[in-house]
Amino acid sequence: MEEKEQVKTENSMANSTFSDQIPASCAFSSSIFDMPCEVEKGSLGFMDLLGIQDYSPSLFDLLQPPLAPHPLTSPASSAPPESSEVVNAPATPNSSSISSSSTEAANDDQTKAAEEEEQDQEKNKQQLKPKKKNQKRQREPRFAFITKSEVDHLDDGYRWRKYGQKAVKNSPFPRSYYRCTTAACGVKKRVERSSDDPTTVVTTYEGQHTHPCPVMPRGSLGIPPEAVTFSAAAASSFAMPQPQYQQQQQPYFNNSSLSLNFNHMNSSSINPTFLHERRLRPSPASLLRDHGLLEDLLPSQMFKEPKEE
DNA sequence: CGCGTTTGACCGGCGC
DNA sequence: GCGCCGGTCAAACGCG
């Protein structure tokens, strides 16, 4: 209560929070509902907006469907002292988004180690207070999505359990903390509404799912209502490159179009062709049928007319 | 009854 | 050392 008041008063000031770093111009909007979409000009420009420090081209390779190793395994960033963030631009039926990721683990080994470590940490926590003093607490790689959505918690196909909510400084909107409900999976996500643009939601994923998405993989069968409602599922899936299991079972994005798209992104010369199609498409369901989540991830307009700042 | 949410308390990191 | 702040815990509660 008081806290909120305080937050409000401070709202217009500082800029330390993640959401604050997202300029309004970065606000993407939903794709399939034919909402306007603006994107920062230049390749990866929007990454800067999110404070991304390390976004080597390989990043997008890594972001390519699940098969890619770990997105953050870029050798170039050998042990980045701080986090670097990456941006993706997935879209959801009533939302489109950008994403960013922060990478604090640098390679596969580290990732695995991080996972183990996290598990250890959790065990320790349960026992009492763990934390090693010498080591800074290692964080899982993080990916943030900016999503234009009226709904805070986008259904990404995984099941999440909310474990906390905090008022965010400089923002009138609270931040919610979710954890994957799957037993051995320690993936977390934060959801907060941007104070700059209340219509956008910043979703930050942390860690990697150690299990297949509960929602049926697309293409294999019917698409669960949730997936239809919020294809942000895709977002999560590709943003957090899945572990090995995805290499065996075709995951959400098993079509080449996705990688194609990313390639475009990478080269900064995006061909929005197929995206136009989407705009004509009225129903998300049909959308999924014909194209796949790819388009949900990459709103057509997104790359059409880069907006200048 | 099981599962998820709410919410105040608590803890640790960090800046001053 | 102190206070702020982000993140997490866990009891209470709600809902199907």
**Using one digit for the tens of pLDDT, what is the confidence trace for A258-267?**
333 333 333 3
Are the C-beta atoms of residues A306 and A39 closer than 8 Å to each other?
Answer: yes
Question: Which pLDDT belongs to residue A93?
Answer: 41
Question: Which pLDDT belongs to residue A223?
Answer: 39
CA dist., res. A41 & res. A301, Å (int): 13
Taking the alpha carbons of A53, A170, A231, A89 in that order, is the dihedral positive or negative? negative
The yes-or-no verdict on residue A290 having pLDDT over 80 is no
The yes-or-no verdict on residue A10 having pLDDT over 60 is no
Q: Which residues of A32-50 are buried (b: 16+ CB within 10 A; e: fewer)?
A: bbbbebbbbeebbbbbebb
pLDDT digits (tens, 9 = 90+) for A168-210: 877 888 889 998 887 777 788 888 888 778 788 888 888 777 7
The yes-or-no verdict on residue A98 having pLDDT over 60 is no
Of all nucleotides, the one whose C1′ comes closest to residue A139's CA is C7
pLDDT digits (tens, 9 = 90+) for A128-155: 333 333 345 556 667 777 877 777 776 7
Are the C-beta atoms of residues A213 and A240 closer than 8 Å to each other?
Answer: no
- Share above pLDDT 70 across residues of chain A, in percent, rounded to a whole number: 23
Strand C neighbours among A 17-36, CB < 7 A = 17
> Residue A83 to residues A74, A105, A106, A183: CA-CA distances in angstroms?
13, 9, 10, 27
Check whether residue A205 has its CB closer than 7 Å to nucleic acid strand C: no
* Mean pLDDT confidence for A105-129: 39
**Which residues have CB under 7 A from strand B?**
A 129, 131, 133, 136-137, 153, 159-166, 176, 178, 181
SS3 A206: strand
CA dist., res. A93 & res. A285, Å (int): 10
- A154 CA → C14 C1’, Å: 22
Domain locations in chain A? 140-204
Assign domain A140-204 one CATH number from 2.30.110.10, 3.30.70.20, 2.20.25.80, 3.40.50.300: 2.20.25.80
Are the C-beta atoms of residues A294 and A32 closer than 8 Å to each other?
Answer: no
State the number of CA atoms in the 13 A half-sphere of A111 facing the CB: 24
SS3 A268: coil
Top mean-pLDDT range of A13-22, A42-51, A185-194, A247-256? A185-194
Q: Which residue is nearest nucleotide B11, judged by alpha carbon to C1' distance? A: A129
Strand C neighbours among A 107-166, CB < 7 A = 122, 125-126, 163-166
Alpha-carbon Rg for chain A, nearest whole angstrom, is: 18
Q: Which residue is nearest nucleotide B4, judged by alpha carbon to C1' distance? A: A161
Mean of all residue pLDDT scores within chain A = 48
CA dist., res. A206 & res. A208, Å (int): 7
Chain C: positions less than 7 Å from a protein CB are 4-10
A76: Cβ–Cβ under 8 A, 6 or more apart, which residues? A54, A56, A58
Nearest in space to A98 (alpha carbons), one of A56, A37, A176, A16: A37
Question: Which pLDDT belongs to residue A187?
Answer: 83
- Cα dihedral A146, A150, A153, A157 in deg (nearest 10): -80
Q: How confident is the model at residue A24 (pLDDT cuts 50, 70, 90)?
A: very low
Output the pTM of the full model.
0.52
Question: Which pair of structure tokens corresponds to residue A205?
Answer: 């994923």
CA dist., res. A39 & res. A59, Å (int): 19
Beta strands in A37-133 (DSSP E): 39-40, 91-92, 95-102
Question: Which pair of structure tokens corresponds to residue A19?
Answer: 């959401």
Determine the Cα angle at A154 with ends A153 and A159, to 5°.
85
A245: Cβ–Cβ under 8 A, 6 or more apart, which residues? A211, A212
The yes-or-no verdict on residue A85 having pLDDT over 60 is no
- A121 CA → B10 C1’, Å: 17
Question: Which pair of structure tokens corresponds to residue A56?
Answer: 């080597």
